[in-house]
Amino acid sequence: MPEGADGPVVPGARARCPAAVARGERGARTGVVARRQAVGARRVSRRVDRPGGGVEARPGRRRRTETASTMTKILFVCTGNTCRSPMAEAVLRHRVEREKLAVLVDSAGTTDLHAGSPPDPRARRVLARRGYPVPDHRARRVRPDDFHGFDLVLGATRGHVRELEALAPAGARARILPLLAFAPDIGVPDIPDPWSGGLADYEYALDLIERGVEGLMDELRRPPAGRTVTG
């Protein structure tokens, strides 16, 4: 087979000059670039300008994750934040996670007596007995910004409610109530402090917490517009 400058010459094939070959390669590259630009234009067309700059997703493609601004935020408060309030935090968190409700839960104390300490071992024990995950929590004192950042601040007793009302800064948006306001049928207004008692006292405190949380869950299951205290 005859040899040409660029390899074997196939009989009957039309020879192409180098300039034509170069023009063909440039045309192919131009076509690839045009296709890429068209794909990019389609992607941009799926987004719309956001007022103030940037872009946002077209309606119908919203993210499904809850944002902090759409969540109901609840803070439980007792004295030292090692017994009653972390137990209430554990119970409510377990319930809302199980039902996939958009609720943020935390706890604090009216004093810094046990600041930085984990929940009391007796509280941890009774929680574990009933199948509640023990919160990875360190005691802290309630802060002024809690009254702006939470929707509900729930005291273990009416005494805590009075303390919280005195601590709340002007213009605070949080509603301050005793937890057992959500269980009026039991006829017990306060959750007694189990700290100086034994496991039976912690069990009783947890009994009352569960009743209060049951009533609170009834409230949280309603649409926000139909809630009486958290809407």
Catalytic residues: 78, 84, 193
3-state secondary structure of 193: coil
CB of 48 within 8 A of CB of 60?
no
CB of 73 within 8 A of CB of 96?
no
Q: How many residues does the chain have?
A: 231
CA proximity to 221, closest of 137, 134, 69, 99 = 99
CA proximity to 144, closest of 120, 168, 114 = 168
* Other C-beta atoms lying within 10 Å of the C-beta of residue 167: 18
